[in-house]
Amino acid sequence: MRQFDCDLHIHGLYSGGTSNNMVVPTLSKQAKLKGLHVLVSGDILHKDWLEHLRKHLVEEDGCFKEEENNVYFILGGEINDINNVHHIFFLPDFNSAYELREKLQKFAKLDGQGFGRPTLNTNAENIAQLVIDSGGIIGPAHAFTPYYSVFSHFNSIKDCYGSMAEEIHFIELGLSADSYFADLIEENQERAFLTCSDAHSPWPYRLGREFTRIEMKKPCFSELKKVLEHEKERIKLNVGLDPREGKYHCTACNRCYTKYSVESAIKLNWRCPRCKGTIKKGVRDRILELAKFHSEIHPEFRPEYLHIIPLAEIIKLALGVENINSQAVQSTWQELVSVFGSEIAVLVDVPIVEIADINELVAKKIESFRKKRVLYIAGGGGKYGEPIICDSEEEFELKKLELKDVLECRSSFKGQKTLNEF
C-alpha cells in the first residue's frame, strides 16, 4: 500500500468565479509541481466538463489517470441544496455520473457557464439518498463556514441529513477549522476528516493549500470509499492552513473587519456600529457554541493535523515583496520546485542547508516555519488571516507581546467597556 496526497475539493472552469486555467492538463501539471498525487475531478455533473474529463483521462483498473503528469483523478463534485448547505460527493465511474445527472435534472439546471456547482431544489436527505443510490458517497463541504455549510444552518449532521445521517462518513473541514476545533463537537468524532483546497485556480498557493494523505492500494474511488467508511486509520495526515488564516475564523464585520465577541454582536443585533456592515459569526465561536468538549480530545484513528503555509506565501514574506504573483516570487518558487521536485518536498522534507544553497532568505523562513515560530493575525468577516514568520525565538516572543491585541479573536471593538475596564 502507498500513501497518496489528495486534494478532493476543486472546481473546473465551468463553475462560477473559476480561472480559465482550470482544465485537466494545467491542473495535472500544477498538481505534480505541488506534489499532489490525486485530485478530485470537480463538477462531475456538468455535461461539458464531463466530456473534457473523458477526453483527458484514461481509465485503468478502476482508476482515472492523466498520463502525461501521472496524476490520478477521483470523480466527484459539489452540490448546493435547497437550504444553502454545500456537499461534496464522489462517484465510482462515468456511468454513475451520467446516471446521477439523469436523476438530478429535475431539481436543477446542471449545464451552462457558472453551473459547475449546481443548486438543487431539494434537501440534503434526498440528495444523499440519490448519490448513494448511484453508488457514490457524500458529506458536508467546508462544514463550518458561516455561509453555505451544515453547521451554519443546522445544529447537527442528523438535523441536516435526517434518516441518511448514518450514511455520512466524512466531513470536509474547510479553511477556517482544523481537527482540534472539529473534534470539540461530539458527533464529528465518528467521522473521517478531509482537508481540501476548494481551489478555483490551479496555482500551487491555491491548489493543495489543504490536502489529505491517504493510504490506498490504488488511487481510486473504491479504495477511498473503503477508507472513509471502515478504515479511517488509513487517513495518515490532514494538512492545511492554520484556522486563524481562514477568512471566517473570528466573529467580525463583513465590511470593515472589526472583530467582536459574540456577546457584543448580539447586543448590537449583528450590525457593525462603525460602518453599518453585518457582523458574521466566526467559525471558532460557532464551534464553541456546539462543543461538548472544551479541551483537545480525538478518536484513536484521527491523524495529526499539520499546519502549512503555501511556499509562494513564504517566499513572498522572505523577499519582503507585496505581490505573490510577482516575478521575484514566481521565479524563486520555480527554481526551488524544479531542483527539489515538488512544493511539498521543499516545505516539509528537504534539509534546510540544501535550500540555503539556492536562497538563504527563503531557507531561513522555511526553517522558522518548521520550528513553528509563526504567529497569525486571525482572519474574520471575509478577510484572510495573516501569518507572521519570526526569524528567531526572541523575535517570536517579542512580536507575540507586541501584537497581542490582533492575534486570536480578541474583540477589537472598544465601544462597550468590558467589566474589567470599568
Positions touching Zn ion (CB under 5 A) are 78, 86, 141, 198, 253, 255-256, 272, 274-275, 277
Nearest distance in Å: CB 199, Zn ion: 9
C-alpha cell at 239: 494538512
Contact 42, 77 (CB under 8 A): yes
Nearer to Zn ion, 154 or 326 (CB): 154
Query: Any residues with CB less than 8 A from the CB of 396 and at least 6 apart, and which?
Result: 373, 375, 390
Nearest distance in Å: CB 6, Zn ion: 16
Identity of residue 60: E
Nearest distance in Å: CB 258, Zn ion: 5
Nearest distance in Å: CB 67, Zn ion: 27
Nearer to Zn ion, 303 or 381 (CB): 381
Q: Each residue of 145-154: b (16+ CB within 10 Å) or e?
A: bbebbbbbeb
Nearer to Zn ion, 82 or 358 (CB): 82
3-state secondary structure 79-105: EECCCCCEEEEECCCHHHHHHHHHHHH
Instruction: Sort strands 71-74 and 76-80 into parallel, antiparallel or unpaired.
Output: unpaired
Instruction: Sort strands 235-240 and 170-172 into parallel, antiparallel or unpaired.
Output: unpaired
Nearer to Zn ion, 127 or 216 (CB): 127
Nearer to Zn ion, 171 or 272 (CB): 272
Identity of residue 226: K
Nearer to Zn ion, 32 or 86 (CB): 86
Nearest distance in Å: CB 12, Zn ion: 11
Nearest distance in Å: CB 164, Zn ion: 19
Query: Any residues with CB less than 8 A from the CB of 12 and at least 6 apart, and which?
Result: 18, 22, 23, 41, 42, 43, 46, 49, 52, 116
C-alpha cell at 174: 474547510
Which among 171, 380, 137 is positioned nearest to 258, based on CA atoms?
Answer: 380
